[in-house]
């Protein structure tokens, strides 16, 4: 272990270089880097005055001493019935605590870089964690968790209970957040700020972190792999969200070029606003409904500003993240009612809880062996009928105040759907018994996002009022690529012939059955795919509000008969090159 524990920070040169990742939200940001440490080790960051250094070092030493005393006290009073590993575990923690990389290196960072103690410790820990992640040996690699626990103990001694993403030292608008990884709950916290951009090492293009990043409507990039290690605090960055490139310490000419591009991008955005009142229809006048995806009631104004025809997907689980307890039925009712009222009679599609996989209640970690295939979404709700019942009652109560629809995620068997419909009936009956009003005609739809549901479509369309295609999960499960894993992010491909076949099959099947169908996955907001979906017969799209007007622009210029012909050809080939050619012709 000793060989791994070396001080990782050496003096830096102001060198310009680029890092490539996956652009998930377009536009160009220019600003200064603010490094976020490991999510578990989030702390306040500030720079000390020269004169404060000795006091800060003493504070750090005192915290190390407190942690050592705590561990020693635990080791002395090990309960008789403790597992035998307990003693070994405490000794290991004492050893980590006494190792010079944790005990001494932060002291040096406090002096050399004038960082506050928490920042120095977490920066050092971050570097150590990364070293552990690179170790081949499984046992040693897993010791990373012990390092985190020891650091948490010292942080606790320093600050009391640590937490919450701290505000950066610069003005928000000038700040580019650089993180190794962020959870969806972290990103939700960013909604309180107006950062210029954020970039992460991990994550795939359709992970919920990425989807939220898109909803912040700032240029963002994921899957940069080593940005957090390569970029230094305060360095000047250009983030090009269109091409997925970060330029670190750009020279004057590059900076000038990107400032120009940034202005052009802003100009384009302004021009798009003119389309707000234009009717959404193809060249031959066929009406295309463009709805918005939202995470929180606070997102409604943006949906309205971009003239959404309704809310096609309200990811209700975001009400449940970043908090200690589940929101009560009343609190949920208020949130759903607020959205329904503010949408003034336009449809609001509330998706029932899609927790599990990469979204968890506060403090809970991914614990299932394979969370994306585990107890997620409707599976979790059916396993927790009380929690689900409260949500269903809240949605039904809110339906009295606008046009709400219920959307059930992750259906794979008709049995799940029958059970859900039964629970909805029970929720209605309980409201009837209390004379509480609700919309008796409320529509119930299902998300088709598992290949099994796509292939057995009719069993679902027979029982549902509408369906919505979750292409993010459909692609994840069809291509067997974890949405959150940057190592397979390059395999995400909405143009894979199997994906196209499935999406077309669902749209055409639903149209044939006379059941309204929408796409609410990220494919719906990708303008290069708008015509593909139109050609498959899609007439309703739901996407993040910021994408609505560019998709509308694409719709307005679309010739349906040409698009239909090319889409049919696409379904007759499984050659990627040919598919690409057809796509280019469609978008020419
Ligand atoms: C999807 O899977 O495409 C979808 C819209 O739902 P989510 O991204 O929230 O899983
Ligand atoms: Mg999904």
Residue nearest to ligand 1 atom 8, measured at CA: 472
The one-digit pLDDT tens for each residue of the chain (588 residues) are 433 333 344 444 578 899 999 998 889 999 999 887 654 556 777 888 899 999 999 999 999 998 888 888 777 766 565 555 567 777 888 888 888 888 889 999 999 989 999 889 988 888 888 787 777 776 666 677 678 778 878 887 887 654 344 555 556 678 899 988 776 656 666 666 678 898 998 878 777 777 877 777 789 999 898 888 889 888 999 999 989 999 999 999 999 999 999 999 999 989 999 999 999 999 999 999 999 999 999 999 999 999 999 999 999 998 887 565 678 999 999 999 999 999 999 999 999 999 876 666 654 555 678 888 999 999 999 999 999 999 999 999 999 999 999 999 999 999 999 999 999 999 999 999 999 999 999 999 999 999 999 999 999 999 999 999 999 999 999 999 998 888 888 899 999 999 999 999 999 999 999 999 999 999 999 999 999 999 999 999 999 999 999 999 999 999 999 999 999 999 999 999 999 999 999 999
Residue 402 Cα, ligand 1 centroid: separation in angstroms? 24
Is 225 part of the annotated catalytic residue set? no
545-548's contacts with Cβ under 8 Å and 24+ in sequence apart are 545/292, 545/293, 545/294, 545/299, 545/302, 545/303, 545/305, 545/306, 545/308, 546/25, 546/214, 546/215, 546/217, 546/302, 546/306, 547/214, 548/290, 548/292, 548/303, 548/306, 548/307, 548/308
pLDDT (0 to 100) of residue 520: 98
Lateral strand order in the sheet of 220-222 = 17-20, 245-248, 236-240, 28-35, 175-179, 197-200, 220-222, 22-25
Distance 410 CA to ligand 2 centre (A): 7
Q: What is the pLDDT of residue 132?
A: 77
Q: Which ligand is nearest to the CA of 207?
A: 1
Does 520 participate in catalysis according to the annotation?
A: yes
Atom 1, ligand 1: residue with shortest CA distance:
470
354 Cα nearest atom in ligand 1: 9
CA of 438 to the centre of ligand 2 (A): 27
CA of 211 to the centre of ligand 1 (A): 9
Q: Which of 38, 208, 360, 544 is catalytic?
A: 208
pLDDT at position 10: 41
Please choose from 520, 540, 542 the residue to mutate so as to test ligand 1's pocket, defined by most ligand atoms within 8 A of CB.
520
**Residues framing ligand 1 (Cβ under 6 A):** 211, 313, 315, 354, 449, 470-473, 520-521
Whether 336 contacts 438, CB under 8 Å: no
Mutate to test the pocket of ligand 1, among 356, 473, 494 (most ligand atoms within 8 A of CB): 473
- Residue appearing with tokens 């599990």: 356
CB-based contacts of 197: which residues, under 8 Å, 6+ apart?
29, 31, 176, 177, 218, 219, 220, 237, 239, 241
Residue 208 is predicted with a pLDDT of: 74
What is the Å distance from ligand 2's center to 387 Cα?
A: 20
User: Atom 4, ligand 1: which residue's CA is nearest?
Assistant: 470
CA separation for the pair 218, 198 (Å, rounded): 8
Opening angle at CA 452, ends 446 and 457, nearest 5: 50
């Amino acid at each position: 272990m000793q060989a791994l524990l070396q001080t990782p920070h050496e003096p830096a040169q102001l060198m310009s270089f680029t890092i490539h990742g996956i652009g998930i939200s377009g536009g160009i940001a220019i600003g200064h880097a603010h490094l976020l440490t490991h999510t578990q080790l989030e702390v306040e960051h500030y720079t000390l005055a020269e004169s404060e250094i000795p006091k800060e070092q003493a504070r750090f030493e005192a915290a190390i001493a407190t942690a050592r005393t705590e561990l020693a006290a635990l080791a002395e009073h090990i309960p008789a019935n403790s597992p035998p590993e307990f003693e070994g575990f405490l000794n290991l923690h004492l050893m980590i605590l006494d190792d010079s990389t944790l005990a001494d290196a932060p002291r040096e960072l406090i002096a050399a870089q004038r960082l506050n103690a928490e920042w120095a410790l977490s920066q050092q820990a971050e570097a150590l964690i990364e070293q552990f992640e690179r170790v081949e040996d499984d046992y040693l690699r897993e010791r990373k968790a012990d390092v985190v626990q020891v650091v948490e103990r010292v942080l606790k001694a320093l600050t009391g209970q640590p937490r919450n993403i701290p505000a950066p030292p610069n003005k928000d608008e000038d700040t580019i957040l650089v993180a190794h990884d962020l959870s969806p709950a972290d990103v939700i916290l960013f909604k309180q700020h107006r950062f210029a951009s954020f970039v992460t090492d991990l994550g795939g293009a359709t992970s919920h972190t990425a989807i939220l990043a898109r909803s912040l409507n700032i240029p963002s990039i994921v899957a940069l792999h080593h940005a957090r290690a390569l970029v230094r605090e305060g360095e000047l960055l250009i983030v090009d969200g269109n091409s997925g490139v970060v330029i670190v310490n750009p020279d004057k000419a590059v900076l000038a070029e990107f400032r120009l591009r940034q202005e052009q991008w802003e100009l384009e955005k302004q021009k798009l606003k003119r389309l707000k009142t234009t009717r959404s229809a193809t060249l031959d006048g066929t009406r295309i409904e463009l709805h918005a995806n939202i995470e929180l009631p606070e997102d409604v104004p943006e949906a309205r500003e971009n003239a959404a025809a309704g809310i096609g997907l309200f990811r209700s689980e975001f009400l449940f993240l970043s908090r200690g307890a589940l929101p009560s039925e009343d609190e949920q009712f208020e949130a759903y009612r607020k959205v329904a009222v503010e949408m003034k009679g336009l449809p609001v599609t509330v998706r029932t809880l899609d927790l599990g996989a990469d979204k968890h209640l506060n403090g809970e970690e991914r614990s299932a062996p394979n969370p994306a295939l585990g107890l997620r979404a409707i599976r979790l709700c059916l396993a927790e009928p009380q929690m689900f019942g409260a949500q269903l009652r809240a949605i039904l109560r809110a339906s009295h105040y606008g046009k709400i629809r219920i959307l059930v995620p992750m259906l794979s068997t008709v049995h799940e759907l029958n059970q859900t419909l039964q629970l909805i009936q029970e929720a209605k009956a309980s409201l009837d018994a209390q004379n509480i009003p609700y919309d008796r005609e409320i529509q119930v739809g299902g998300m088709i996002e598992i290949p099994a549901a796509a292939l057995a479509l009719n069993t679902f369309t027979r029982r549902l009022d509408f369906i919505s295609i979750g292409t993010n999960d459909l692609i994840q499960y069809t291509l067997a690529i974890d949405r959150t894993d940057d190592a397979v992010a390059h395999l995400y491909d909405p143009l894979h012939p199997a994906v196209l076949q499935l999406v077309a099959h669902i749209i055409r099947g639903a149209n044939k059955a006379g059941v309204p169908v929408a796409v609410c996955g990220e494919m719906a907001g990708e303008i290069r795919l708008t015509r593909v979906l139109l050609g498959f017969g899609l007439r309703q799209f739901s996407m993040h509000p910021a994408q609505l007007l560019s998709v509308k622009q694409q719709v307005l210029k679309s010739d349906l008969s040409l698009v239909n012909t090319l889409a049919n050809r696409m379904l007759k080939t499984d050659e990627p090159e040919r598919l690409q050619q057809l796509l280019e012709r469609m978008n020419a």
